[in-house]
Chain A
Amino acid sequence: MDFVRYLPISKGDQIEVGVRLAESRAAARELCERWITQVHEPFIEGDAIRADADWDWDVEIPLLTFRIGMRRRPRMLQLYAIDGDFPLGMVALLENERWIADRRRSASFLWYLSGAPASAFEGRPVPKMITAATIDMAVTISLNGAADGRLWLHAAPEGGDRLLEWYKERGLEQVPQTTKLPGPLVGPRRNDGRYFRLTQSRARVVSARLNEYRT
Protein backbone atom coordinates (compact mmCIF):
# COMPACT_ATOMS: atom_id res chain seq x y z
CA MET A 1 0.00 0.00 0.00
CA ASP A 2 1.11 3.51 -0.76
CA PHE A 3 1.64 4.87 2.74
CA VAL A 4 3.58 8.01 3.56
CA ARG A 5 7.33 7.31 3.49
CA TYR A 6 8.75 10.64 4.58
CA LEU A 7 7.77 13.40 6.98
CA PRO A 8 9.14 16.94 6.98
CA ILE A 9 11.34 18.21 9.77
CA SER A 10 12.82 21.69 10.13
CA LYS A 11 14.96 23.41 7.46
CA GLY A 12 13.37 21.56 4.58
CA ASP A 13 14.78 18.19 5.64
CA GLN A 14 12.76 14.98 5.85
CA ILE A 15 12.91 11.80 7.89
CA GLU A 16 12.09 8.36 6.60
CA VAL A 17 9.03 6.69 8.13
CA GLY A 18 7.39 3.28 7.84
CA VAL A 19 4.03 1.69 8.65
CA ARG A 20 3.41 -1.55 10.52
CA LEU A 21 0.06 -3.25 9.98
CA ALA A 22 -1.40 -5.77 12.42
CA GLU A 23 -4.31 -7.96 11.36
CA SER A 24 -4.52 -10.04 14.53
CA ARG A 25 -4.29 -9.41 18.23
CA ALA A 26 -1.03 -11.35 18.43
CA ALA A 27 0.54 -9.08 15.81
CA ALA A 28 -0.94 -5.99 17.46
CA ARG A 29 0.56 -6.93 20.83
CA GLU A 30 4.06 -6.03 19.64
CA LEU A 31 2.95 -2.69 18.19
CA CYS A 32 1.09 -1.79 21.35
CA GLU A 33 3.96 -2.74 23.61
CA ARG A 34 6.37 -0.57 21.63
CA TRP A 35 3.88 2.32 21.70
CA ILE A 36 3.24 2.00 25.44
CA THR A 37 6.87 1.79 26.52
CA GLN A 38 8.36 4.35 24.14
CA VAL A 39 5.58 6.93 23.84
CA HIS A 40 2.38 6.43 25.84
CA GLU A 41 3.76 5.86 29.33
CA PRO A 42 6.62 8.38 29.26
CA PHE A 43 4.98 11.21 27.30
CA ILE A 44 1.18 10.87 27.14
CA GLU A 45 -0.09 9.14 30.27
CA GLY A 46 0.79 11.98 32.62
CA ASP A 47 -0.61 14.70 30.38
CA ALA A 48 -4.14 15.17 31.66
CA ILE A 49 -4.95 17.65 28.86
CA ARG A 50 -4.64 14.96 26.22
CA ALA A 51 -7.77 12.97 25.40
CA ASP A 52 -5.67 9.83 25.00
CA ALA A 53 -3.94 10.07 28.40
CA ASP A 54 -5.90 7.15 29.87
CA TRP A 55 -6.37 5.00 26.78
CA ASP A 56 -5.53 1.38 27.41
CA TRP A 57 -3.38 0.22 24.51
CA ASP A 58 -2.34 -2.82 26.49
CA VAL A 59 -5.64 -4.67 26.97
CA GLU A 60 -8.88 -2.91 26.12
CA ILE A 61 -8.15 -1.39 22.71
CA PRO A 62 -6.37 -4.35 21.05
CA LEU A 63 -8.60 -6.94 22.70
CA LEU A 64 -11.90 -5.32 21.77
CA THR A 65 -10.66 -4.39 18.30
CA PHE A 66 -9.91 -7.98 17.38
CA ARG A 67 -12.88 -9.63 19.13
CA ILE A 68 -15.52 -7.97 17.00
CA GLY A 69 -15.23 -10.62 14.32
CA MET A 70 -13.00 -10.85 11.29
CA ARG A 71 -15.77 -9.87 8.84
CA ARG A 72 -15.41 -6.31 10.10
CA ARG A 73 -11.68 -6.54 9.26
CA PRO A 74 -10.17 -5.07 12.40
CA ARG A 75 -6.75 -3.52 11.92
CA MET A 76 -4.12 -1.77 14.00
CA LEU A 77 -1.42 0.35 12.39
CA GLN A 78 1.68 2.04 13.64
CA LEU A 79 3.59 4.86 12.00
CA TYR A 80 7.25 4.86 13.02
CA ALA A 81 10.48 6.69 12.29
CA ILE A 82 12.85 4.28 10.62
CA ASP A 83 15.90 5.90 12.20
CA GLY A 84 15.82 4.58 15.75
CA ASP A 85 12.64 2.56 15.10
CA PHE A 86 10.62 5.09 17.09
CA PRO A 87 6.77 4.95 17.04
CA LEU A 88 5.08 8.14 15.86
CA GLY A 89 1.39 7.25 15.74
CA MET A 90 -1.15 4.49 16.39
CA VAL A 91 -4.48 3.69 14.80
CA ALA A 92 -7.18 1.10 15.54
CA LEU A 93 -9.89 0.76 12.90
CA LEU A 94 -12.50 -1.48 11.34
CA GLU A 95 -11.82 -1.70 7.65
CA ASN A 96 -15.23 -3.14 6.79
CA GLU A 97 -17.81 -1.21 8.81
CA ARG A 98 -21.13 -0.03 7.40
CA TRP A 99 -21.25 3.30 5.57
CA ILE A 100 -23.30 6.10 7.11
CA ALA A 101 -25.15 6.95 3.93
CA ASP A 102 -25.83 3.38 2.81
CA ARG A 103 -25.49 0.54 5.30
CA ARG A 104 -25.09 -2.06 2.57
CA ARG A 105 -21.86 -0.44 1.52
CA SER A 106 -18.52 -0.88 3.16
CA ALA A 107 -16.68 1.95 4.91
CA SER A 108 -13.74 2.12 7.27
CA PHE A 109 -14.43 3.26 10.81
CA LEU A 110 -11.52 4.91 12.57
CA TRP A 111 -11.87 3.99 16.24
CA TYR A 112 -8.67 5.16 17.93
CA LEU A 113 -5.93 7.51 16.75
CA SER A 114 -3.00 8.78 18.76
CA GLY A 115 0.14 10.67 17.79
CA ALA A 116 3.45 11.15 19.59
CA PRO A 117 3.77 14.60 21.22
CA ALA A 118 6.70 16.94 20.51
CA SER A 119 8.06 16.21 23.99
CA ALA A 120 8.87 12.67 22.85
CA PHE A 121 11.62 14.00 20.55
CA GLU A 122 13.92 15.67 23.06
CA GLY A 123 17.29 16.33 21.45
CA ARG A 124 16.05 15.12 18.05
CA PRO A 125 14.29 16.86 15.19
CA VAL A 126 10.52 16.83 15.64
CA PRO A 127 8.71 15.45 12.58
CA LYS A 128 5.86 17.65 11.37
CA MET A 129 2.42 16.41 10.31
CA ILE A 130 2.51 13.32 12.53
CA THR A 131 -1.25 13.31 13.14
CA ALA A 132 -2.05 14.00 9.49
CA ALA A 133 0.19 11.08 8.50
CA THR A 134 -1.47 8.92 11.16
CA ILE A 135 -4.95 9.65 9.73
CA ASP A 136 -3.50 9.05 6.30
CA MET A 137 -2.76 5.44 7.28
CA ALA A 138 -6.49 4.93 7.81
CA VAL A 139 -7.38 6.73 4.57
CA THR A 140 -4.88 4.59 2.65
CA ILE A 141 -6.31 1.40 4.13
CA SER A 142 -9.79 2.55 3.17
CA LEU A 143 -8.76 3.51 -0.38
CA ASN A 144 -7.17 0.12 -0.92
CA GLY A 145 -10.04 -1.97 0.42
CA ALA A 146 -13.72 -2.60 -0.22
CA ALA A 147 -14.50 0.76 1.41
CA ASP A 148 -12.90 2.50 -1.58
CA GLY A 149 -12.03 5.56 0.47
CA ARG A 150 -15.22 5.86 2.52
CA LEU A 151 -14.25 6.51 6.12
CA TRP A 152 -15.90 7.88 9.23
CA LEU A 153 -14.88 8.67 12.77
CA HIS A 154 -15.99 10.36 15.96
CA ALA A 155 -14.08 13.35 17.28
CA ALA A 156 -13.30 12.93 20.98
CA PRO A 157 -15.41 15.34 23.07
CA GLU A 158 -12.31 16.21 25.10
CA GLY A 159 -10.92 17.87 21.97
CA GLY A 160 -13.71 20.47 22.01
CA ASP A 161 -14.37 22.78 19.06
CA ARG A 162 -10.66 22.92 18.25
CA LEU A 163 -10.65 19.26 17.27
CA LEU A 164 -13.75 19.73 15.10
CA GLU A 165 -11.98 22.54 13.26
CA TRP A 166 -8.84 20.42 12.94
CA TYR A 167 -10.74 17.62 11.20
CA LYS A 168 -12.47 20.12 8.91
CA GLU A 169 -9.09 21.56 7.95
CA ARG A 170 -7.93 18.02 7.11
CA GLY A 171 -10.80 17.80 4.60
CA LEU A 172 -13.28 15.70 6.56
CA GLU A 173 -16.95 16.56 6.38
CA GLN A 174 -18.98 16.92 9.60
CA VAL A 175 -22.00 14.62 9.64
CA PRO A 176 -25.25 16.47 10.50
CA GLN A 177 -26.55 15.65 13.95
CA THR A 178 -29.84 14.55 12.40
CA THR A 179 -28.15 11.70 10.50
CA LYS A 180 -29.02 8.26 11.82
CA LEU A 181 -25.87 6.22 12.30
CA PRO A 182 -25.40 2.48 11.83
CA GLY A 183 -25.68 1.38 15.43
CA PRO A 184 -24.42 -1.59 17.38
CA LEU A 185 -26.67 -4.63 17.52
CA VAL A 186 -27.66 -3.66 21.06
CA GLY A 187 -28.56 -0.03 21.75
CA PRO A 188 -28.30 2.94 19.43
CA ARG A 189 -25.21 4.82 18.29
CA ARG A 190 -26.01 8.34 19.40
CA ASN A 191 -25.14 11.13 17.03
CA ASP A 192 -23.78 13.98 19.13
CA GLY A 193 -22.78 16.03 16.09
CA ARG A 194 -19.10 15.11 16.40
CA TYR A 195 -19.01 12.50 13.64
CA PHE A 196 -16.97 13.12 10.50
CA ARG A 197 -16.85 11.33 7.20
CA LEU A 198 -14.80 11.09 4.05
CA THR A 199 -16.57 10.22 0.85
CA GLN A 200 -14.72 8.38 -1.92
CA SER A 201 -13.94 11.55 -3.86
CA ARG A 202 -12.88 13.52 -0.77
CA ALA A 203 -10.68 10.65 0.38
CA ARG A 204 -8.75 10.92 -2.86
CA VAL A 205 -8.33 14.67 -2.39
CA VAL A 206 -7.22 14.27 1.23
CA SER A 207 -4.83 11.48 0.28
CA ALA A 208 -3.34 13.55 -2.55
CA ARG A 209 -2.32 16.26 -0.08
CA LEU A 210 0.40 13.96 1.24
CA ASN A 211 1.48 12.56 -2.12
CA GLU A 212 4.79 14.43 -2.03
CA TYR A 213 5.73 12.33 1.02
CA ARG A 214 4.93 8.95 -0.53
CA THR A 215 7.86 8.54 -2.91
Chain B
Amino acid sequence: MPTPRRAFAEVAHTLAGVDPNDKAAVRDFYEDRFQKYSKAAQALISDFLIGQTATPSETDLQALKKAVSRPARQIPGLFAPPIGASGQAVRKQASQRTDYLNEQLALAKAAKGRPMRKAARKRQIAAQHKEFS
Protein backbone atom coordinates (compact mmCIF):
# COMPACT_ATOMS: atom_id res chain seq x y z
CA MET B 1 0.00 0.00 0.00
CA PRO B 2 1.69 3.16 1.06
CA THR B 3 4.76 4.68 -0.49
CA PRO B 4 7.10 5.74 2.34
CA ARG B 5 7.72 9.47 2.68
CA ARG B 6 11.42 8.76 2.27
CA ALA B 7 10.77 7.62 -1.30
CA PHE B 8 9.08 10.94 -2.12
CA ALA B 9 12.05 12.76 -0.58
CA GLU B 10 14.68 10.72 -2.44
CA VAL B 11 12.95 11.28 -5.78
CA ALA B 12 12.84 15.04 -5.12
CA HIS B 13 16.52 14.92 -4.17
CA THR B 14 17.56 12.95 -7.25
CA LEU B 15 15.53 14.97 -9.72
CA ALA B 16 16.06 18.45 -8.32
CA GLY B 17 18.74 18.31 -5.64
CA VAL B 18 16.20 19.00 -2.89
CA ASP B 19 17.41 18.28 0.65
CA PRO B 20 15.60 15.00 1.42
CA ASN B 21 15.55 15.83 5.14
CA ASP B 22 13.74 19.12 4.57
CA LYS B 23 10.05 18.16 4.57
CA ALA B 24 8.91 21.61 3.47
CA ALA B 25 11.33 21.67 0.54
CA VAL B 26 10.22 18.21 -0.58
CA ARG B 27 6.61 19.30 -0.40
CA ASP B 28 7.43 22.45 -2.40
CA PHE B 29 9.07 20.29 -5.05
CA TYR B 30 5.85 18.32 -5.63
CA GLU B 31 3.62 21.36 -5.37
CA ASP B 32 5.67 23.46 -7.75
CA ARG B 33 8.54 21.97 -9.76
CA PHE B 34 7.00 18.54 -10.27
CA GLN B 35 4.03 20.13 -11.99
CA LYS B 36 6.29 21.85 -14.51
CA TYR B 37 7.45 18.51 -15.92
CA SER B 38 5.69 17.24 -19.02
CA LYS B 39 2.57 15.14 -18.41
CA ALA B 40 4.47 12.05 -19.58
CA ALA B 41 7.27 12.72 -17.09
CA GLN B 42 4.77 13.37 -14.27
CA ALA B 43 3.06 10.08 -15.05
CA LEU B 44 6.42 8.31 -15.04
CA ILE B 45 7.34 9.75 -11.64
CA SER B 46 3.89 8.87 -10.23
CA ASP B 47 4.21 5.35 -11.62
CA PHE B 48 7.64 5.01 -10.03
CA LEU B 49 6.49 6.25 -6.63
CA ILE B 50 3.32 4.17 -6.54
CA GLY B 51 5.49 1.10 -7.07
CA GLN B 52 7.79 1.83 -4.11
CA THR B 53 7.30 0.22 -0.72
CA ALA B 54 10.75 1.11 0.64
CA THR B 55 13.43 3.70 -0.05
CA PRO B 56 14.34 3.25 -3.74
CA SER B 57 17.85 2.17 -4.65
CA GLU B 58 20.31 4.65 -6.13
CA THR B 59 20.31 2.65 -9.37
CA ASP B 60 16.53 2.93 -9.69
CA LEU B 61 16.61 6.64 -8.84
CA GLN B 62 19.24 7.31 -11.48
CA ALA B 63 17.25 5.30 -14.03
CA LEU B 64 14.22 7.45 -13.22
CA LYS B 65 16.26 10.63 -13.59
CA LYS B 66 17.52 9.49 -16.97
CA ALA B 67 14.02 8.58 -18.16
CA VAL B 68 12.50 11.85 -16.94
CA SER B 69 15.20 13.93 -18.62
CA ARG B 70 14.22 12.61 -22.05
CA PRO B 71 12.07 14.80 -24.28
CA ALA B 72 8.38 14.14 -23.53
CA ARG B 73 7.77 12.41 -26.87
CA GLN B 74 10.51 9.89 -26.11
CA ILE B 75 9.03 8.86 -22.77
CA PRO B 76 7.13 5.64 -23.40
CA GLY B 77 3.49 5.41 -22.42
CA LEU B 78 2.73 3.67 -19.15
CA PHE B 79 1.25 0.24 -19.04
CA ALA B 80 -2.42 -0.11 -18.27
CA PRO B 81 -4.67 -2.97 -19.19
CA PRO B 82 -7.27 -2.11 -21.77
CA ILE B 83 -10.54 -1.33 -20.02
CA GLY B 84 -13.08 -4.00 -20.83
CA ALA B 85 -11.12 -5.20 -23.82
CA SER B 86 -9.17 -8.38 -24.41
CA GLY B 87 -5.72 -8.48 -25.94
CA GLN B 88 -7.33 -9.57 -29.17
CA ALA B 89 -9.46 -6.44 -29.23
CA VAL B 90 -6.38 -4.29 -28.74
CA ARG B 91 -4.55 -6.05 -31.58
CA LYS B 92 -7.60 -5.52 -33.76
CA GLN B 93 -7.61 -1.82 -32.89
CA ALA B 94 -3.90 -1.55 -33.72
CA SER B 95 -4.49 -3.33 -37.02
CA GLN B 96 -7.35 -0.95 -37.85
CA ARG B 97 -5.08 1.97 -37.04
CA THR B 98 -2.40 0.68 -39.42
CA ASP B 99 -5.01 0.14 -42.14
CA TYR B 100 -6.30 3.66 -41.61
CA LEU B 101 -2.81 5.17 -41.80
CA ASN B 102 -1.96 3.24 -44.95
CA GLU B 103 -5.21 4.41 -46.50
CA GLN B 104 -4.44 8.01 -45.59
CA LEU B 105 -0.95 7.67 -46.99
CA ALA B 106 -2.28 6.32 -50.27
CA LEU B 107 -4.79 9.18 -50.48
CA ALA B 108 -2.09 11.73 -49.80
CA LYS B 109 0.13 10.19 -52.47
CA ALA B 110 -2.69 10.25 -54.98
CA ALA B 111 -3.60 13.84 -54.17
CA LYS B 112 -0.11 15.21 -54.41
CA GLY B 113 1.27 12.81 -56.94
CA ARG B 114 4.30 12.20 -54.75
CA PRO B 115 5.00 10.24 -51.60
CA MET B 116 4.30 11.96 -48.36
CA ARG B 117 7.42 13.31 -46.74
CA LYS B 118 8.76 11.38 -43.77
CA ALA B 119 8.22 14.26 -41.34
CA ALA B 120 4.63 14.75 -42.49
CA ARG B 121 3.89 11.06 -42.04
CA LYS B 122 5.45 11.14 -38.56
CA ARG B 123 3.17 14.05 -37.65
CA GLN B 124 0.19 12.18 -39.01
CA ILE B 125 1.06 9.05 -37.05
CA ALA B 126 1.55 11.09 -33.89
CA ALA B 127 -1.85 12.73 -34.38
CA GLN B 128 -3.49 9.37 -34.94
CA HIS B 129 -1.73 7.87 -31.96
CA LYS B 130 -3.07 10.69 -29.82
CA GLU B 131 -6.56 10.11 -31.09
CA PHE B 132 -6.51 6.37 -30.50
CA SER B 133 -4.71 6.35 -27.16
Contacts and interface: CB of A to CB of B under 8 A. Distances in A.
B63 A186 contact: yes
A59 B24 CA distance: 11
B24 to A, nearest CB: 11
B60 A187 contact: yes
A interface SS class: loop
A52 interface: yes
B106 to A, nearest CB: 31
A153 B79 CA distance: 18
Interface of B: 1-3, 5, 8, 27, 30-31, 34-35, 39, 42-51, 53-54, 56-57, 59-60, 63-64, 67, 76, 78-84, 86-87
B52 to A, nearest CB: 8
A103 B81 contact: yes
Interface residues of A, number: 48
Contact of A69 (B43, B56, B60, B67): B43
B67 to A, nearest CB: 5
Interface in A106-131: 106-107, 109-113
A56 interface: yes
15 contacts: A54-B5, A63-B31, A67-B43, A68-B50, A71-B83, A97-B81, A98-B79, A104-B81, A110-B1, A111-B1, A112-B1, A154-B53, A186-B44, A187-B48, A194-B53
Interface string A173-215: 0000000001111111110101000000000000000000000
Given A187-B63, A188-B60, 20 more contacts: A51-B2, A54-B5, A56-B27, A63-B31, A64-B3, A65-B46, A67-B39, A67-B43, A68-B47, A68-B50, A69-B80, A97-B81, A105-B81, A156-B2, A157-B53, A157-B54, A182-B79, A186-B44, A187-B60, A190-B54
Interface in A37-60: 51-52, 54-56, 59-60
A64 B30 contact: yes
B51 A68 contact: no
Nearest to A66: B46
Contacts of A51: 2
A106 B81 CA distance: 5
A185 B78 contact: yes
A122 B33 CA distance: 41
A192 B54 contact: yes
Contacts of A107: 81
A146 interface: yes
A72 interface: yes
